[in-house]
Structure 1
């Protein structure tokens, strides 16, 4: 019996010493000639194969759907089902371990992670992988809800109570804030308000607290994930959230209590962004955002949570940059917006600038001053590490800074004359997210798109057809993935292979169904709620997207660590056997989703 079995490869790396002994006692080595069939459809498998040398192709009919190389194993699903559904053929001479079926069943029964990694769907494999992360504090933050965190009691006073009376209550209750009830509205009074009361000059025992309370509360539901609470604090630049269920106030979530879960305080980045007095100070915070992303990723935080926090931090960075380079009247009479992955909240590392500016109709703005401010803004982002957009989709390009009426006419042109360039611009624009100025200017343009596009089936079909913009990328890499890594050090373009088809397919469905959300996860939720997408498929799509984003982020961080620019690709020869297995599953979901899109939008006839 072989003693050199590699227990460092997935799924065998989760076995303990006793389980490893089960493997050693029940494994043999087999040899297969090139072209020899290892499994046929309908065959009842007796072993799990683990490749030592060579490669095996998996065929569905005449189509190669997967390939397996050294340390890969197959076919766990056939063992569980009792029969094979695909043909497995030696693409070259193969030497493989054969692990007896009874031993595999014993391992599955005693080790849930082994079973999940061996034959379950993508979501189960990712769940099993998450259980193996050692950074438990960060994982707890990812999973925990607001209502499960420490909430400070909410003390309520009447708006007519004097500041002296409120200060006495705050001291007695050892709290830095109280809620203030004024007729039908609820506000908050904090230590900051107390400072303002002292500077007011009026006698504090005669000064009603309601005059100094803030009545723009930021509330959150108790079942909201804690990471969403962090993003909300960053977005609104507040130190506490009012936790409420309907009209019932449950308590207060303080910034310090939330940040106790984190080893790096993202809120401090926000404060320093907002307080920055020059672009050099902002550049330092832009670099800290990238380091924070690396910390979160290496701590096991999911892509969705990282994306939300990064979107909130970047929005503050862009807003403050715009405030520093643009005259106040321009900030007030315009809307600065971001698009693409930044607009969707799915940008993790700095990529091309995708932004635009809408100017209020009739505003008395100096054209030269607007041009200068936009040029300074693009230059500032370039300094922060955001390269220019190759297509010029940035505010320094006059085509992407227009008056509201001019922008509306441009949007109508995209819709009425949908050539390739217009459809590309439309796809980018429907992900737009306001970061500074008057957001209603962007909202009006989005409403214009929604009114015109949803009733035009031909336009929607041409729009959705872009899912096949890279038809050969996923397919060719899909079948050859483990085979070419040893020779020419290939880079798999994850955006072309899977991220873009998922993002654009979901975007197309959302556009057809009048979904207002811009993030892919939120769009999937809305499509499921509307009965337009099966919950199981939506879950698989999101799992696949987030896994591909994880691979892309991991590769990008490695490139940054070695001083290289982020390429967006991943070296396939550096993927672990588990990562290759998950990649095959993710690309299979992409293939299934593209088939659904072709049917939904009748793309075969185009």
Structure 2
């Protein structure tokens, strides 16, 4: 039987070695000329087909339901149901594996993930995918490199330094570990002294200002290389019963790996970046932490962490990063009399890779700053740009006076957005509705947000204008047809934000505004709408599954772009997607289409 069967394609990538052998023993190859009907409506299928070469289209009547290409399989649902409910036609010459029904039934019975990926609905497919990824998470983390964890800086003292001066160094450098150079021996020795050695120093009996650190330092250093696996580093710590390892590349000392940081990495890598941010004393140090956030995202994604959990961690870390940057740049009186906030996907807690800055500042009425506020805001925007967050093309930033006002003026601006109801003003209002405070007096922001909800009360006409933005993109249905194009057709990237994320998020935002729901994340808005009986439970679940899929797909494509030296974008190249991702994309965009129908009915958008 064929030995080149592609077990890396879904759903066969979840099979055990024994299950793979079953497939190889039960598979054969079939050929179908162009135009031949492979499976007719109502037929009783005997095989599952996996395409090797060519394209097959599934028809419902005369309408194309989907297109299958190499490595795709069909018709799993018909095989299980015992009856084909569509027509499958070879639109060009097709060579395909055909896997016997008894083998497919055995695989489904013994492997729940295979069955879910083969023929389940959207939520079950995603659940099976998530469960499969989580099994590998801890194993993948222990296989990460040592230099992917937080390495403490290596600080050096000479062996003839007094313990009193060492303690001063501990305090000044905010560290508990110093490396000790002893140049009195040949070749020079390198040792380590930590805060736990202070007890021995006190019990030594020699005055601390005369006791030399070289007498108490441990010169039997345990080293690891930066490219060693973290699992190996953990084993070394356990073997030698030490809490710190010196990380060295040859003779170059890269830093110190502490047990607490290693365990924190395995449990929650964000802890280390949080420490870096909180201890930062300048913007340059914060820039290093900002770079770590992107590496953390890539690592968590590679390890199978759920995308909504990654987004939540990123929101918390970015909030800490922005807060610390603002604290370092703004004077104390400005910190006490303002509220710095973020908006858009950052405000909703749905941002992953770095995107344009969306932020603003609300000042207390009557407050007169001791410095030029505009100059401080410019420095903050410049700092974020250095961190990798580019300036917003629409200038929705604190450096724009429209987004840096006192409570009264900002509230008046929001009212003008609502009353003007132009496309730009309603988009500004939508962005502001996602505002999330990161530093300062949050009550100032809430006062401005309250103005929005006062105006929205019982104003159906304006709510309809606001909600109508869901129809800005993809209204002619051409994008939907592109999902079924073959080969080189339709190679223009699909904008997942415009076609999927935006109508979903803005639709939920519009329903939440109509109900005066004040939470900002899409997940919280969905929960509140469901609790109020304004969103069916099944649709609510499908919408959140779809949003998380869009976020994950955009992240995957963005990371691939970054790895090849290109900027991350929202464009999806359909021909580069796996068969599973194409299938899920079709399902999730179908959910958005269904949701838009509900929104058009709810807000009577056809009357606009």
Question: Secondary structure at 1:300's aligned position in 2?
Answer: coil
Matched with 1:550 is: 552
Matched with 2:401 is: 398
Distance between the aligned counterparts of 1:498 and 1:488, measured in 2? 18
Distance between the aligned counterparts of 2:607 and 2:39, measured in 1? 37
Matched with 1:298 is: 302
Matched with 2:181 is: none
Larger CA Rg, structure 1 vs 2: 2
Matched with 1:119 is: 119
Matched with 1:108 is: 108
Matched with 2:378 is: 375
Distance between the aligned counterparts of 2:5 and 2:396, measured in 1? 54
Closer/same/farther in 2, CA of residues 486 and 450 from structure 1, 3 Å limit: same
- Correspondences of 1:137-216 after superposition (within 5 Å): 137=138
Moved more, 298-307 or 527-536: 527-536
Distance between the aligned counterparts of 2:59 and 2:603, measured in 1? 29
Instruction: From 314, 317, 324, give the equivalent of 2:318.
Output: 314
Closer/same/farther in 2, CA of residues 487 and 595 from structure 1, 3 Å limit: closer
2:586 maps to 1:580: no
Q: 1:570: how far off?
A: 3.2
Distance between the aligned counterparts of 1:323 and 1:485, measured in 2? 54
- Correspondences of 1:323-334 after superposition (within 5 Å): 323-334=327-338
Matched with 2:77 is: 77
Instruction: From 345, 358, 362, give the equivalent of 2:362.
Output: 358
Closer/same/farther in 2, CA of residues 604 and 78 from structure 1, 3 Å limit: farther
Structure 2 spans left out of the alignment, 5+ residues: 142-258
Question: Secondary structure at 2:59's aligned position in 1?
Answer: strand
Matched with 2:195 is: none
Q: 1:372: how far off?
A: 0.4
Distance between the aligned counterparts of 1:62 and 1:356, measured in 2? 52
Q: 1:117: how far off?
A: 0.7
- Correspondences of 1:9-48 after superposition (within 5 Å): 9-48=9-48
Distance between the aligned counterparts of 1:18 and 1:138, measured in 2? 22
Over residues 363-385 of structure 1, what are the superposed CA-to-partner deviations in whole Å (9 max), with x where a residue is unaligned?
1236x701101111111111111
Cα contact 1:66–1:479 (8 A) shared by 2: no
Distance between the aligned counterparts of 1:258 and 1:345, measured in 2? 27
Question: Secondary structure at 2:266's aligned position in 1?
Answer: coil
- Correspondences of 1:281-296 after superposition (within 5 Å): 281-296=285-300
Q: 1:581: how far off?
A: 2.2
2:90 maps to 1:90: yes
Cα contact 2:264–2:271 (8 A) shared by 1: no
Distance between the aligned counterparts of 1:24 and 1:274, measured in 2? 56
Distance between the aligned counterparts of 2:595 and 2:44, measured in 1? 30
Distance between the aligned counterparts of 1:597 and 1:464, measured in 2? 8
Count matched residues. Answer: 491
Matched with 1:412 is: 415
Q: 1:428: how far off?
A: 0.5
Matched with 2:522 is: 520
Q: CA RMSD in A?
A: 2.7
Q: 1:489: how far off?
A: 5.7
Cα contact 1:139–1:301 (8 A) shared by 2: no
Closer/same/farther in 2, CA of residues 82 and 450 from structure 1, 3 Å limit: farther
Distance between the aligned counterparts of 1:310 and 1:441, measured in 2? 25
* TM-score for both structures, normalised by structure 1: 0.75
Distance between the aligned counterparts of 1:517 and 1:320, measured in 2? 24
- Correspondences of 1:474-493 after superposition (within 5 Å): 475-481=477-483, 483=485, 486=488, 490-493=492-495
Distance between the aligned counterparts of 2:260 and 2:461, measured in 1? 53
* TM-score for both structures, normalised by structure 2: 0.75
Distance between the aligned counterparts of 2:89 and 2:391, measured in 1? 48
Instruction: From 536, 539, 548, give the equivalent of 1:537.
Output: 539
Distance between the aligned counterparts of 1:502 and 1:597, measured in 2? 10
Cα contact 2:56–2:94 (8 A) shared by 1: yes
Distance between the aligned counterparts of 1:321 and 1:46, measured in 2? 64
Closer/same/farther in 2, CA of residues 136 and 321 from structure 1, 3 Å limit: closer
Distance between the aligned counterparts of 2:605 and 2:490, measured in 1? 35
Structure 1 spans left out of the alignment, 5+ residues: 141-254
Q: 1:132: how far off?
A: 2.7
Distance between the aligned counterparts of 2:514 and 2:83, measured in 1? 41
